[in-house]
Amino acid sequence: MFETISNWIAALLTLFIFSFLYKDNPFYRFAEHLLVGVSMGYFIPLVYNNAFMPFLYTPIFLQHKFILIIPAIIGTFYIFRFNRKLSWLSRYPIVFGMGIIGMGVPMSMHASVLVQMRSAMLPIIDINIFLIFIGTVTILLYFFFSKSHEGLYGKFTRIGVWFMMIGFGASFGYTVMARLSLLIGRIQFLVGDVLKIIQ
């Protein structure tokens, strides 16, 4: 019974949101505002139950791991962001965040730059590697702005533009697929879970 009622409420709100495709209306705005409010309302107890209780309250008060009081206090410094005089304190928790990012720089450099460069420098043994080679070189030439894109050099950069266009086309195709998938998910919910037409 509960599932049926909740499904019908969800279906109604889905239709309210879809109604925007016709034109802006009070039903759409109601659903939009409700979403923002419910999201926040949902997130607060979720974080309280899943993060605050098991990782702060229980370890400190029940397991007596008092060392956790230090990061807890530093964490609360974030709140001082809203106070002009004490906002400098909020920089301390940010510093820890930056430290973690800094720690990841060498490994990220390796994984995202060096390994990628290495794989672009393979012996040209098949057509795919040849295309990667041509694509990489011509696109890099395109982004070299110290020389005007004219003559033979301009023709090379033009090939780079074509490679980029193909890349953008592939990304756009995937984006269309992703957006349609979200719509498919909603319609599967409406005709399956709510109307029970498909099981």
Partner 1 sequence: MNFFERIQALDRRWIYLLVALAITVPLVLVFDSKTYTTEPTENIYQLIDSFSGRDDRAIMINFMHDASTMPELFPMEVAILRHAFLRDVKVFTICFTPTAAPLVDYAINTVKEEFPDIQSGVDYINIGYKPAALYLPIVLGMGDDIAEAVETDAEGRQIANLPMMENIQNYNEMNLVIETSGSSFGAMWYIYARPRFGVNVAAGITAVMAADAYPFLQTGQLIGILAGLKGAAEYEKMVDLFAAQDRPFSRERAREEHVSITDDAVLYKFRVARIGMNAQTVAHILIIVFIIIGNVGYFFEKQREKKV
Residues that bind partner 1 (CB under 8 A): 21-22, 43, 46-47, 50-51, 54-55, 100, 103-104, 107-108, 110-112, 115-116, 118-119, 132, 167, 170-171, 174-178, 180-188, 191-192, 197-199
Which residue number, 83 or 128, has a Cβ lying nearer to partner 1? Answer: 128
CB atoms within 10 A of CB 189: 15
Question: Closest separation between CB of residue 91 and partner 1, Å?
Answer: 17
C-beta of 9 vs 176, nearer to partner 1: 176
Structure tokens at 148: 């005007």
Of residues 154 and 185, the one with the C-beta less far from partner 1:
185
- Closer by beta carbon to partner 1, 55 or else 88: 55
Which helix (H) or strand (E) is 6 found in, with range? helix 2-18
Q: Residue 172's Cα: distance from chain center in Å?
A: 17
Nearer to partner 1 by Cβ, of 159 and 190: the residue is: 190
- The least distance separating partner 1 from the CB of residue 155, rounded to whole angstroms, comes to 26
Contact, 31 vs 12, CB < 8 A?
no
**From CA 46, how far away is CA 49, in angstroms rounded?**
5
User: Closest CB to partner 1 among 97 and 151?
Assistant: 97
Q: Cβ 18 to partner 1, closest distance in Å?
A: 8
Give me the least distance between CB of 47 and partner 1, in Å please.
5
Burial of 69 (0-12, 13-18, 19+ CB in 10 A): exposed
The token pair that represents 168 in the structure block: 């953008």
Nearest approach in angstroms of CB 89 to partner 1 is 19
Interatomic CA distance for residues 114 and 11, integer angstroms: 49
Closest among 115, 164, 112 to 141, alpha carbons compared: 164
Structure tokens at 159: 């090939």
- What is the closest distance, in whole angstroms, from the C-beta atom of residue 46 to partner 1 in the complex? 5
